[in-house]
Amino acid sequence: MLTKNNTPVIGKQLDKVAQTIEEHLVVRNKDIERATTELQRAGGKMLRPSFLLIFAALGDTSKQSEEQLISLAASVEVLHMATLIHDDIVDDSPMRRGIQTVQSKYGKDIAVYTGDLLFTVYFELLASSGDLGDFIKVNSKAMKKILLGELDQMHTRFNQEITMLDYFRSISGKTAELFSLACREGAHFGYCPPNVEKLATRIGTNIGLAFQVLDDILDYSATRKDLKKPVLEDISEGVYTSPLILGMQKNREAFCPFLDKKEPLTVEESDNLRKLVIESGGLDAAKELAQRLTQKALDDIDHLPKGKAQKLLLKLTKELLKRTY
């Protein structure tokens, strides 16, 4: 994880991003303020702002406005937080980042409006970050793509015929789009040359895809304590992720009893399903997939201008891959 100490290139800026976000979370309604501030302080990894700032650091620093970059970096994190809160309503998730979700602690009503408020803060941060010109359209398209990805995921719930194509379509929006936006926006407002902005967009997509696959893998290899959220809760919500889908391709029948069950899985059933995913090769196939996607990103990073920022990007991307093994 990124901290001020291990990332001298962007560490101070990340602090400013966190401060900017907190300033924008101040509202009259103290329940809402507490809910958003708790989520913020519970320490998201701030990956999206980090990628934005690293790509900006690759550009022409003499032309950049640090204030603009901080606002934009804050905006991508806030958009991420907004989607998390609404996802947790839809998923009825009890935990997020090791603390209770807004929905489970404050109830559905506050969770709906808190997410909405964060969407407006996202918009506010964009609007106040100086003239974005046509790039405002890139933002609106990205936001729509993210939402459509969420809808795709909801639509394929409990669909035991789900393919890897369905899966990729959903995570391309739901997860990869925001990483891609962050990287591209950093390159753009960091005054990188057009070819770097193009690479940034693709690197962001591949990192985002890899990140999601790794997140899926964690569900099958980590304990509840490591993960700071319940293990395999996706299954009882009908959300089938890459290790499961890849496992089912080998031995569909064995999985049916787990998926046909209407209630949440017991601890024993979770353990058995985890074993099945491992034995069927689903977990290994997902790991290979994550590695392939990360390698694509690393290959592209290799073509970026060399220097501290590029080194940091390389390090961060490698760490993202390492985190499951």
The residues that touch a second copy, with contacts defined as CB under 8 A, are: 27-29, 31-32, 86, 89-90, 108-110, 112-113, 115-117, 119-121, 123-124, 126-128, 131, 133, 136-137, 139-141, 143-144, 147-148, 150-152, 154-155
Q: Which residue number, 181 or 289, has a Cβ lying nearer to a second copy?
A: 181
CA dist 164 and 58 (Å) reads 34
CA angle at residue 218 from 298 to 243, to 5 degrees? Answer: 85
260 is written with which tokens?
């046909």
Q: Which residues contact 317 (CB under 8 A, 6 or more apart)?
A: 207, 294, 297, 298, 301
Residue appearing with tokens 């995570």: 171
**Nearest alpha-carbon partner for 192 in 63, 77, 311:** 63
Q: How far is the CB of 71 from a second copy (least distance, A)?
A: 12
Q: Which residue number, 52 or 146, has a Cβ lying nearer to a second copy?
A: 146
Q: How far is the CB of 36 from a second copy (least distance, A)?
A: 12
Q: Which residue number, 105 or 308, has a Cβ lying nearer to a second copy?
A: 105
Q: How far is the CB of 246 from a second copy (least distance, A)?
A: 24
Q: Which residue number, 31 or 284, has a Cβ lying nearer to a second copy?
A: 31
199 is written with which tokens?
């690479």
Q: Which residue number, 22 or 31, has a Cβ lying nearer to a second copy?
A: 31
CA dist 303 and 300 (Å) reads 5
Q: How far is the CB of 2 from a second copy (least distance, A)?
A: 28
To the nearest 10°, the Cα dihedral for 195, 310, 146, 30? Answer: -140
Q: How far is the CB of 169 from a second copy (least distance, A)?
A: 9
**Contact by Cβ (8 Å): 258, 235:** yes
Q: Which residue number, 150 or 284, has a Cβ lying nearer to a second copy?
A: 150
Q: How far is the CB of 119 from a second copy (least distance, A)?
A: 5
CA 131 to centroid of chain Cα atoms = 27
Question: Residue 286 corresponds to which amino acid?
Answer: A
**HSE, side-chain direction, 13 A CA sphere, residue 303:** 14
Q: How far is the CB of 107 from a second copy (least distance, A)?
A: 10
Cα–Cα distances in angstroms (integers) from residue 93 to residues 122, 154, 234, in the given order: 23, 15, 9
> What does the DSSP assignment read for 259-293?
HH-SSPPPHHHHHHHHHHHHHTTHHHHHHHHHHHH
Q: Which residue number, 58 or 110, has a Cβ lying nearer to a second copy?
A: 110
Q: How far is the CB of 136 from a second copy (least distance, A)?
A: 5
Q: Which residue number, 28 or 306, has a Cβ lying nearer to a second copy?
A: 28
Helix (H, G, I), strand (E, B) or coil at 138: helix
